[in-house]
Amino acid sequence: MRNIKMLIEYDGSRYKGWQRLGNTDNTIQHKIEDVLKKMTGEDIQIIGSGRTDAGVHAIGQVANFHTNCNSSQDEIRDYCNHYLPEDIVIKKVIEVDERFHSRYNAVSKEYIYSIYNSNVPTVFNRKYTYYIPEKLNISEMKKASKYFIGVNDYKAFTAMKSKKKSTVREIYSIEFRINGNQIDIIYHGNGFLHKMIRIITGTLIEIGLGKLKSETIPQIMNGKIRSNAGITAPSEGLCLYKVYYDK
């Protein structure tokens, strides 16, 4: 039995997210599995490094699957790209050790949230940025972002419903990259909760608009109440950039 690792890129705009769902076939996982089943004649189940929500994009999603097929790595990649929709691309296929697991072996992830901040909107990146016409105070957003660095309980910054699972995570860094009117916020951490990055981003945006004070972040975090944090920034601005398997 072979273990195949894939590097995947997708535009999540028209999909219900990564994970296969029982009530729709419009997910990234379903589309890829469907093509692999046709190629191999096997009941393929792919394992993703993590779930991305509806509308979220990926440049560096990683997944793996097991198969007995004899196709080469390039043949698997080319077959998938021929039959997959144009908004899903298999960038690389590598045969790996049978024990490799895309989710369990991941040690950290990097996401980018993109904002387009201008009084005039843009057409060509509207599906990949969150448009904000009001001027943002970037220095205040940077100041507030420092409160999120380190090991913290992010219960106030997640939409996760389960009370049994830990909401403690570690964020290694939050960096801002400004290019004209576009603001990219780059998050690197050991893992992220459901909608955690979008809620942190929404909170930073409210600080940038003067609706919240950066000094309130520790209080919000310690209170562990979701409604005290900022909005959930929309999914179109978020992209899974890279999954790390080495510390």
Which residue in this structure is represented by tokens 């945006």? 205
Q: Which residues contact 137 (CB under 8 A, 6 or more apart)?
A: 207, 208, 209, 210
Q: Which of 75, 96, 117 is the last residue of a domain?
A: 96
pLDDT of residue 76: 98
Residue 44 belongs to some domain of the structure: yes
In Å, how far from its chain's centre is CA 1?
A: 30
Q: Are residues 86 and 112 in the same domain?
A: no
Question: Residue 197's closest CA among 139, 163, 240, 146?
Answer: 240
Q: Are residues 87 and 119 in the same domain?
A: no
Which residue in this structure is represented by tokens 């990055």? 197
Q: Are residues 32 and 119 in the same domain?
A: no
Q: Which of 72, 96, 120 is the last residue of a domain?
A: 96
Residue 102 belongs to some domain of the structure: no
CATH code, domain with 51:
3.30.70.580
Q: Are residues 89 and 187 in the same domain?
A: no
What is the enclosing helix (H) or strand (E) of 111?
strand 108-117
Cα–Cα distance between 241 and 121 in angstroms, integer?
24
Residue 12 belongs to some domain of the structure: yes
pLDDT of residue 97: 95
Q: For residue 137, what are the domain limits? A: 108-244
Question: Residue 120's closest CA among 180, 75, 62, 45?
Answer: 180
Q: Are residues 84 and 151 in the same domain?
A: no
25 is catalytic: no
pLDDT of residue 246: 87
Q: Are residues 162 and 204 in the same domain?
A: yes
Number of separate domains in the chain: 2
Using CB atoms within 10 A of its CB, is residue 202 exposed (0-12), middle (13-18) or buried (19+)? buried
Query: What is the pTM (predicted TM-score) of this model?
Result: 0.95
Q: What residue type is assigned to position 76 of the chain?
A: I
Which positions of the chain have pLDDT values less than 50? none
Helices (H), 84-148: 138-145
Question: Residue 240's closest CA among 188, 200, 199, 193?
Answer: 188
Q: What is the 3-state secondary structure (H, E, C) of 142-162?
A: HHHHHHHCEEEECHHHCCCCC
- Identify the active-site residue in 25, 53, 74, 87: 53
Q: Are residues 45 and 124 in the same domain?
A: no
Note the pLDDT tens digit of each residue in 212-226: 999 999 999 999 999
Using CB atoms within 10 A of its CB, is residue 68 exposed (0-12), middle (13-18) or buried (19+)? exposed
Q: Are residues 240 and 180 in the same domain?
A: yes
Q: Which of 96, 122, 146 is the last residue of a domain?
A: 96
Rg (CA), the chain: 19
Q: Which residues contact 148 (CB under 8 A, 6 or more apart)?
A: 171, 174, 200, 217
